[in-house]
Amino acid sequence: MTTQELIQVPSGLKGVAVAETELGAVRGSEGFYHYREYNAAELARRASVSDVWHLLVEGSLPTTEQAARFERQIGDHRAVGIKPAIIDAVAAATSVPHLGLMALLPLVAPDGIPTIDLSPRERREAATRLAAAVPTLLAATHRRRLGLDVIAPDPTLGHAADWLRMVLGYEIDPAKARMVETYLTATIDHGFNASTFATRVVTSTGADAAAALCAGIGALSGPLHGGAPSLALSMIEEIGDPGNTDAWVRAKLDAGQKIMGFGHAVYRADDPRSLLMREVAEGHGGPLVERAVEIEARILAVMRSWKPDAVIVTNVEYYAGIVLHLAGLTPDLFTSTFTVSRAIGWSAHLIEQADNNKILRPSARYVGAPPAS
């Protein structure tokens, strides 16, 4: 294809469909997103992580018998056979858990068989095994970095409760486990975001499942994608009294800085995940939640007066940070918790891409100095 034949697309591929999917979609103008044929926010209110996981990788919500079998399978897969000395070495050599995860995840399935050489059922097994190992590896890396003992997974617990238990080191109040389960379920998948696209690009090369998931982890590590919940919580703490909000926000806007937790690349109506997380936070209650609600209203008022023609909404990160904090997680674990969730979505996209694969190989338009002829 010559330079003249290249298709001009928007910067960042915004609005460009690069693949077809049956897993779900985001309808930003309506403030709606779905997993397959189900309203995703409604599923998050009532379903477990494993139920939605089954929906995405198997194509349907499970029956009672299927749900029990699938949850046992996930629980068994949370056990990893990596030697403690290796985990210790990785934890000592990496500054944040997701870097350790990228080093350790390929060791869960060290054969490294390309997805192109696996049967559909084998690909499902490989993707599910790796996604299930993510919380175990993140928790182990986090605890060893702090000099704490590793907590072995408990296959009898749900995915959210076991993640909290492994990372915090104690049995979790069911109400707090449910708060995190709602968050995990609500954030499993969300259209063709950067990490999902990265996972599918690597899958399209026929690479092994761990390589594809590590691509997603790398993309999610960027603060513009996976790090905002901790930044939004820090913002609330920095503002302090809600009466300080207007001056604080205007100073940031004058300096050309982003207000974390506000605005979204897709939504032009309320982000349903934000509404859900606010609902969860208000269900818990307390001074922090009350302060956050008032600060949110003031921030929106300032930003809308600043850009009256722009559609500005609160995104999921604003209340997600509060929910995770209330559940007992520290800000350095927020991106890891997002990774526990999103790894499930990546695994489903990996399976879908590999089942009907065509390598994703776009072009770039050269705009540098003319080459010598």
The CATH code of the domain that includes 249 is 1.10.230.10
Residue 234's pLDDT is what? Answer: 93
| Average pLDDT of the chain, as a whole number | 94
Specify whether 263 is located in the same domain as 150. no
* Burial of 358 (C-beta count, 10 Å sphere; 0-12/13-18/19+): exposed
Whether 59 has a pLDDT exceeding 80, the answer reads yes
Are 80 and 212 in the same domain?
Answer: yes
Residues 67 and 122 in one domain: yes
Tell whether 32 and 134 lie within a shared domain: yes
Q: Look at residues 75, 89, 72, 82 and name the one whose alpha carbon lies nearest to residue 105.
A: 82
What residue spans of the chain are helical by DSSP H?
40-46, 49-58, 64-77, 84-93, 97-108, 120-145, 159-168, 174-186, 194-204, 209-220, 228-239, 245-254, 272-284, 287-306, 316-326, 334-355
- What's the pLDDT score for residue 4? 59
Residues 279 and 210 in one domain: no
**Which tokens go with 134?**
């993510």
pLDDT of residue 2: 54
**Residue 86 CA from chain centroid, whole number:** 26
Q: What is the mean pLDDT of residues 327-347?
A: 95
Q: Do 258 and 215 share a structural domain?
A: no
Asked if 97 and 142 count as a contact pair (C-beta separation under 8 A), the reply is: yes
Rounded percentage of the chain residues whose pLDDT exceeds 90: 81
Model's pTM, two decimal places? 0.94
Question: Biggest alpha carbon distance in the chain?
Answer: 71
Question: Residue 265: its pLDDT value, please?
Answer: 78
| Structural domain harbouring 294 | 228-326
The continuous run of DSSP H or E covering 33 comes out as: strand 32-35
Instruction: Tell me if residue 365 falls in helix, strand or coil.
Output: coil
What is the 8-class DSSP label of residue 262? B
* pLDDT beyond 60 at 31: yes
Of 157, 176, 102, whose CA–CA distance to 346 is shortest?
102
Let me know if residue 67 belongs to a domain: yes
Q: Pull the structure tokens for residue 219.
A: 């993309």
* Token pair recorded at residue 348: 């489903």
Ordered alpha helix ranges (H), 240-368: 245-254, 272-284, 287-306, 316-326, 334-355
Q: Are residues 145 and 232 part of one domain?
A: no
Tens of pLDDT, residue by residue over 130-157, are 999 999 999 999 999 999 999 999 999 9
pLDDT band of 129, cuts 50, 70, 90: very high
* Side-chain-facing half-sphere of 235: CA atoms under 13 Å: 27
pLDDT at res. 227? 64
Residue pair 128/74 in contact (Cβ under 8 Å)? The answer is yes
178 with 76, same domain: the answer is yes
CA 141/CA 94 separation, integer angstroms: 9
**Structural domain total, the chain:** 2
Model confidence at 373: pLDDT above 80: no
> Tell me, what CATH number does 162's domain have?
1.10.580.10
Q: String of b and e for 107-130 (b: at least 16 CB within 10 Å)?
A: bbbeeeeebeebeeeebbbbbbbb
In tens, the pLDDT along 180-235 reads 999 999 999 999 999 999 999 999 999 999 999 999 999 998 877 776 678 899 99
pLDDT tens-digit map of 303-329: 999 999 888 999 999 999 999 999 999
Q: Which residues contact 201 (CB under 8 A, 6 or more apart)?
A: 215, 360
Indicate if the pLDDT at residue 3 is higher than 70.
no
**Rounded (10°) CA dihedral 274, 280, 281, 286:** 160
Asked, for residue 341, whether it belongs to a domain, the answer is: yes
Averaged pLDDT for residues 92-101: 89
User: What average pLDDT does range 65-91 have in this prediction?
Assistant: 96
Residues catalogued as catalytic:
264, 317
Say if CB 328 and CB 175 are below 8 A apart: no
**Token digits of residue 77:** 């897969």
Of the chain, the percentage scoring pLDDT greater than 70 comes to: 98
